[in-house]
Structure 1
Amino acid sequence: MFSHLGTTGSKFISSAAISKRLQLQLKYSTERTKTTSAGDYQYLHKSKLPTSYFQKSLPRLPIPELEKTCERYLNAIEPILSPESLNKTKSIVSQFATGTGQQLQDLLKESDAANKHTSYISQPWFDMYLSDRSPLPINYNPLLVMKHDSKPEYNNQLIRSANLVISSLRFMRSLKENVLKPEVFHMNPKKSDNERFQTITSLAPTAIATYVAYAFKAFPLDMSQYNRLFGTTRIPLIGKDKIYEAPEDSRHIMVIRGGKFIAVDVIDADGEIISPNHILGRLKAIMEMNPSGNVLETHPLGVMTAANRDVWAETRQHLLNIGNYKQMELIDSALFCLALDGGDVKYDEAHPQKLIKHFLAGDAVNRWFDKSITLIVSGDGTSAVNFEHSWGDGVAVLRYFNEIFTDSTESPQVHPNTIPYLPHDNDCSVCSIDFQFDDLIHDKISNARKNHNQIINSLDMHVLRYTNGINKKSCKRSGVSPDSIMQLAFQLAYRQAFGHYVGSYESCSTAAFRHGRTETIRPCTMATKAFCESAIGRNGQNEELKAMIQNCSTVHGQLTKDAAMGQGFDRHLFGLLHMAKLNGIDIPDLYNDESYKKINYNIISTSTLSSPAVLAGSFGPTVPDGLGIGYSIQEDECGAIATTYKQNRDGSAFIESLDGALNLIRDILDKKI
């Protein structure tokens, strides 16, 4: 999901620096937002630099050299192969590099040169997401849970919902009118995230603006995905879905409560956000509705968005055929979804699994997983964002998430004493959506609900909050990357719990390039394997083990740099395979080799969730016997949330082993061994 932001400058940004500076950047952004947002209700802020200012001058995602990709691939596969399998794979890779691989490389470069407006990975990556027939929850839709408002009275479900809706609309208007601050990664926000930077870069032609920003050690990021944050819906079709974008004049959101859908106008005829009192009143009216007595109570349509995509596509088409066109159009064209959950699931700091699992997938009754963004607010005011993943990646969602958290908590527009303006009886600004169902639809929903509940019942979730000495401060003292320590701990924990090494995945953003998406960091390396074997066998003195940890950090740092700079191997090999399929070329042996299948069977799938606004984050395993690990490392603690399918993988054994792995690494770094 959310990981390292690469740069094209001469100085590499370390994982630790990224996390620290993102927090500093948010802090300074918050201070400025307080002064600008108070003066204009319609906008989050009005940037001196237009939102799209740097887009034209962003560098293009490079296509790595074929020889380098083959070398990186072999290095990544070595720790999980036997010597015999490795030798076989080396031979296959050698044939690929001098044969078909070079032909595919030429075709990829030719295609890239003909499409300079985008990146070589963008369209194939969209197609990959949209072609998968797996259900969206757990398999694709990630979750971010928001920290609570520090003012308890603002955590009331109605008040928090209204403020989050308003902040989302302020963000949306700022974005659409090109006054949202461009997304820029500042190496030192205190020195560059200021008026001087904006003034000087505003004088540069847009064709070179990015390179002017580099002089400030500030690195603009791709914002091409941002426009799909709002009004976007994934439409199920047989074989391959499509992305639908709402008309520009769309002015309603979709509120879901008790499985019932209500279209709520939040933008007036002049294109402006309606008053806080009216938004509060319309949400209050919904919360006072009696959700019972409608067909959705017994046959909740939202469950279909949790079904196999072809099954949902067939069902949706039948819904349209029997007279639900306008109803579906209202859902598809909504700016975003707001799910008002009941009060039966609440946040428990000691045992957060129940609420996190409910937000991640739950029973699917009160969800529409196809929507780009769903804001979820529970009965106790705990809030979260569940998002459909095909349209974009974590950089855009995390920016939105951080901004609405800051705006809604620091500059709330609705207060406990705000008087709600309730809609009149004949007011169509709050419109319940009534569907026409037949027996076939009833059966489809019942089956989808049964299948989804079986999957949810098999999903296990374990949480580790570690406060015993592994944190950013301790990593800094030891001169190691915090992210590398977390990844090393995962490798050690898995080795201790299950006895071997497996395909491992860490997400890395390539947003420093035009239409960049993500690249893969492969955290299982020969360096991590050497440390794990020595640490488990207690082979070597403390200083030797510490030196091995430092080497793991160095190796991981280089892998992170390569990935962020578009120099990983995974997306390149994916692009070459796409060229073979596109041009009717026989699939090379490399892709049918068991080694390629093994490294892409990601049993350990990880993503870091470091943000001062994030309370928790989670996503599902990517393979049946895998681990989906959302993790973070903060100034004083670190932690992880691991999801597994309980019948295939013992998540409790992994978490217990992870606690021991962190203890062992801590003791080595602190010279206690």
Structure 2
Amino acid sequence: MNTSQAPEAAVTTFSQEDSLPRVPLPTLEASCERFLAWCAPLLSAGEMAATEAEVAAFLRPGGPGRVLHRALEEYDATDGVHSWLDTFWPYRYLGRRDRIALNANFFFLFRDTDEDQVERAAGLVAGALHYKSRLDQESIPPVTRRGRPQSMAQNTYLFSTTRIPGADLDTVRSPYSEAWPGPSDARHIVVFFRGAAFRLDVLGADGVPHSLDDLRAGLRAVMEAGAEPPAPDTSVGHLTTMARAQWAAARQSLLARHPRNGEALDTIETALFCVCLEDFAPPDTQTACDELLYGDRGNRWFDKAVSFVVFADGRAGINVEHCELDGTTILSFTDALLSTPADEHARRSKARTQGPPVPRPVTFDLDDTLRSQVRSAADAFARYGKDTATSTVSFEDFGADTAKALGVSPDAFVQVAYQLAHQRAKGHLGATYESIATRQYRHGRTEAMRVVTPETVAFVTAMGDPAADAATRRTAFLAAAERHVARANECQAGQAPEQHLWELELIQRRRGAGLGVSEQPALYRSPGWLKMRDDYLSTSSAPSANIQYFGFGSTSPRCIGVAYVLLPTRFHLYLSTPRPVAPQMHAFAAELRRAITELRDLLAPGT
């Protein structure tokens, strides 16, 4: 990160990174103790006993846990290592071998405006270019949360960043790296329309952005050039929906086929970001969300870090590749874009008229085999999308202010409500994941929180007990909410077991033979580990007045993904799950409405 040009005393975008505290590395004993506490509510007595036995074996002197943890301590103390999670994150995200489209990428649906498609798209481009100019100059102040500066390291992956598929492990091509020092010097974006891709230079030779009028004219020229869709089975973006090893092999075939393909890939991979112009308007909000999550028609490059999607009616959103970017960073980015008018972005970035940028087609040379792969990838992903059930749920009469007025943490209120709704919809509780931001640490990202506690179980039990009176239920709810807040605070403080124990498992996979731990420790096959991480609900929040909905795919065959926007006066959710779980998902949505109403009544003064 380039801070040499800024005065030493100035608080520039990255100037506080090295002074942020390191992510705490819990002791092995603490993580094992917390692990047993976290999984206990999900286990039978026999399963708990079996898990306790495996934890004891893991912890024994000279046992595998001791060896692996010692290796992690040594890594954490190594020069140049920012965090003991530095290797964990690449293996967690870049090591996944299934498709990232729908499974890993996430989206935001932006608030509506009265702009038409071209005007909206041009405004988003202008806003993003302004943000980049500020980032390059390091004039974006570090985000603070409760007075504490947050890591800004993820901002280096916003522009010209692309995930590159690999046979065993993906990589990331990005600026601010050894291969590409400093900010991106790319001047172009890639615009998709009707499955065709076009390079559009949006910065002049001197790095100054084109004016809004130039951008609008350039985007219209793209739509004119792409009026006729490309030949069938030539929209290479479809290949980015494949499982990673398959896509890696197809990419190698592209490179071997013709030098033009390497040039085309280079154009896409180095582009500042993508803009996906759709030639249709979704009939409703849920369809707009679905299109943002897994819309395709060859009109996406899912490996690109940032892709703006703009529909024919001017509605818009963003699809994000998750490996280096979390929701909190994208929220700050999109809030900066959407809270300032486009013409003001253009003025502040010193954009000027330079003549409309001329779109240049990005084309690939394909043989019959590659065309067949494009076709099969398109068909397979279309089926996968149809096999996904989704739903939007909107509460216009409930929000964070409602929960606060009732004396409860808003996040705790809705998370406990999720548990009650899940119990009623499915007849049981199940492992629930909640993402907790930890960007107050150096290169911090998120921590995995498990929501089900003994207090949650007691509350749900009380709600199902006809003999329990309102006072009993109220006391049980408040205890569950209080415990939720306490656990979230522990996670924010880095005192959580899952990622610590998971990284120990990954160390065994990577280095076990050399460390004398040649076999996976049995703890990772114990009922507690398997049940705690078998998500029935996977939850994450994105609070911003600039977005309507936030969404992602489910994480397992039985999981319901719960992405929620909880604002002072409204509460919006996007649910997703595999098609066989659709009836339970819809039941969950209905029971959530009932639960929110019941809990408001339960906590209302005088009840």
Match of 2:75 among 108, 111, 123: 111
- 290 and 388 in structure 1: CA distance in 2 versus 1, 3 angstrom threshold: closer
* Counterpart AA for 1:161: A
Correspondence for 1:199? none
Q: Counterparts of 1:490-505 in structure 2 under 5 Å? A: 490-505=418-433
Correspondence for 1:434? 363
Question: Do the aligned partners of 1:375 and 1:384 also contact (CA within 8 Å) in 2?
Answer: yes
- 364 and 129 in structure 1: CA distance in 2 versus 1, 3 angstrom threshold: farther
Correspondence for 2:576? 643
Distance in 2, matches of 1:292 and 1:219, equals 52
Give the secondary-structure state (helix, strand or coil) at the position aligned to 1:225: helix
* Counterpart AA for 2:257: I
Question: Do the aligned partners of 2:237 and 2:300 also contact (CA within 8 Å) in 1?
Answer: yes
Correspondence for 1:3? none
Q: Deviations over 1:560-584 (max 9, x none)?
A: 1111111111111112222323242
| Deviation of 1:644 (Å) | 1.0
Q: Counterparts of 1:610-629 in structure 2 under 5 Å? A: 610-629=543-562
Correspondence for 2:520? 587
| Deviation of 1:119 (Å) | 0.7
2:589 corresponds to 1:655:
yes
Correspondence for 1:228? 157
Question: Do the aligned partners of 1:141 and 1:386 also contact (CA within 8 Å) in 2?
Answer: yes
* Counterpart AA for 2:87: Q
Give the secondary-structure state (helix, strand or coil) at the position aligned to 1:530: helix
Correspondence for 1:375? 308
Q: Counterparts of 1:573-584 in structure 2 under 5 Å? A: 573-581=501-509, 582-584=511-513
Distance in 1, matches of 2:218 and 2:490, equals 50
* Counterpart AA for 1:533: T
Distance in 1, matches of 2:213 and 2:402, equals 48
Distance in 2, matches of 1:256 and 1:422, equals 21
Distance in 1, matches of 2:300 and 2:572, equals 28
Distance in 2, matches of 1:452 and 1:293, equals 20
| Deviation of 1:320 (Å) | 1.2
Correspondence for 2:96? 132
2:598 corresponds to 1:664:
yes
Correspondence for 1:524? 452
2:243 corresponds to 1:308:
yes
Give the secondary-structure state (helix, strand or coil) at the position aligned to 1:462: strand
Question: Do the aligned partners of 2:68 and 2:508 also contact (CA within 8 Å) in 1?
Answer: yes
Q: Deviations over 1:475-534 (max 9, x none)?
A: 222221110111111111111111112111000111111111211111111111110011
Distance in 1, matches of 2:229 and 2:104, equals 33
Q: Counterparts of 1:239-250 in structure 2 under 5 Å? A: 239-245=168-174, 248-250=184-186
2:192 corresponds to 1:256:
yes
- 419 and 564 in structure 1: CA distance in 2 versus 1, 3 angstrom threshold: closer
Question: Do the aligned partners of 1:363 and 1:456 also contact (CA within 8 Å) in 2?
Answer: no
Would you say how many aligned residue pairs link Structure 1 and Structure 2? Answer: 579
Match of 1:328 among 256, 265, 269: 265
- 293 and 518 in structure 1: CA distance in 2 versus 1, 3 angstrom threshold: closer
Match of 2:323 among 390, 400, 407: 390
What is the TM-score with the length of structure 1 in the denominator?
0.83
Give the secondary-structure state (helix, strand or coil) at the position aligned to 1:279: helix
Give the secondary-structure state (helix, strand or coil) at the position aligned to 1:407: coil
Q: Counterparts of 1:6-405 in structure 2 under 5 Å? A: 49-98=11-60, 99-115=63-79, 117-149=81-113, 152=114, 155-185=115-145, 187=146, 218-245=147-174, 248-292=184-228, 294-295=230-231, 297-323=232-258, 324-346=261-283, 348=284, 352-405=285-338
Is 646-655 or 161-170 further displaced after alignment? 646-655
Question: Do the aligned partners of 2:64 and 2:521 also contact (CA within 8 Å) in 1?
Answer: yes
Question: Do the aligned partners of 2:214 and 2:353 also contact (CA within 8 Å) in 1?
Answer: yes
Question: Do the aligned partners of 1:280 and 1:420 also contact (CA within 8 Å) in 2?
Answer: no
Q: Deviations over 1:200-240 (max 9, x none)?
A: xxxxxxxxxxxxxxxxxx21111112111100111112111
Correspondence for 2:408? 480
Give the secondary-structure state (helix, strand or coil) at the position aligned to 2:168: coil
* Counterpart AA for 1:502: G
Distance in 1, matches of 2:287 and 2:355, equals 34
| Deviation of 1:100 (Å) | 2.4
| Deviation of 1:364 (Å) | 4.4
| Deviation of 1:672 (Å) | 8.2
Correspondence for 1:41? none
Correspondence for 1:455? 384
Between the aligned residues of both structures, percent identity stands at: 29
Q: Deviations over 1:264-306 (max 9, x none)?
A: 11112212222222222211211222432632x5432111111
Question: Do the aligned partners of 1:625 and 1:649 also contact (CA within 8 Å) in 2?
Answer: no
* Counterpart AA for 2:536: I
- 105 and 355 in structure 1: CA distance in 2 versus 1, 3 angstrom threshold: same
Distance in 1, matches of 2:332 and 2:570, equals 23
Q: Counterparts of 1:599-618 in structure 2 under 5 Å? A: 599-618=532-551
Give unpaired runs (5+ residues) of structure 2: 1-8
Match of 1:512 among 425, 437, 440: 440
- 409 and 533 in structure 1: CA distance in 2 versus 1, 3 angstrom threshold: farther
Q: Deviations over 1:457-492 (max 9, x none)?
A: 111111221245x43223222221110111111111
* Counterpart AA for 1:340: L
| Deviation of 1:358 (Å) | 0.9
| Deviation of 1:354 (Å) | 1.0
| Deviation of 1:412 (Å) | 5.6
Correspondence for 1:17? none
| Deviation of 1:538 (Å) | 3.0
Q: Deviations over 1:300-321 (max 9, x none)?
A: 2111111111111111111111
| Deviation of 1:365 (Å) | 2.0
- 525 and 647 in structure 1: CA distance in 2 versus 1, 3 angstrom threshold: same
Match of 1:533 among 449, 461, 465: 461
* Counterpart AA for 2:468: G
* Counterpart AA for 1:634: L
Distance in 1, matches of 2:134 and 2:354, equals 25
Distance in 1, matches of 2:24 and 2:428, equals 35
Distance in 1, matches of 2:226 and 2:401, equals 52
Is 430-439 or 95-104 further displaced after alignment? 95-104
What is the TM-score with the length of structure 2 in the denominator?
0.91
Question: Do the aligned partners of 2:234 and 2:366 also contact (CA within 8 Å) in 1?
Answer: no
Q: Deviations over 1:404-429 (max 9, x none)?
A: 11124683649xxx999864xxx7x4
Distance in 2, matches of 1:460 and 1:294, equals 30
* Counterpart AA for 2:387: S
Question: Do the aligned partners of 2:209 and 2:352 also contact (CA within 8 Å) in 1?
Answer: no
Q: Deviations over 1:588-623 (max 9, x none)?
A: 111111321121111210001211111111100000
| Deviation of 1:115 (Å) | 4.1
Correspondence for 2:5? none
Question: Do the aligned partners of 2:239 and 2:374 also contact (CA within 8 Å) in 1?
Answer: yes
Give the secondary-structure state (helix, strand or coil) at the position aligned to 1:500: coil
* Counterpart AA for 2:490: D
* Counterpart AA for 2:222: I
Question: Do the aligned partners of 2:127 and 2:342 also contact (CA within 8 Å) in 1?
Answer: no
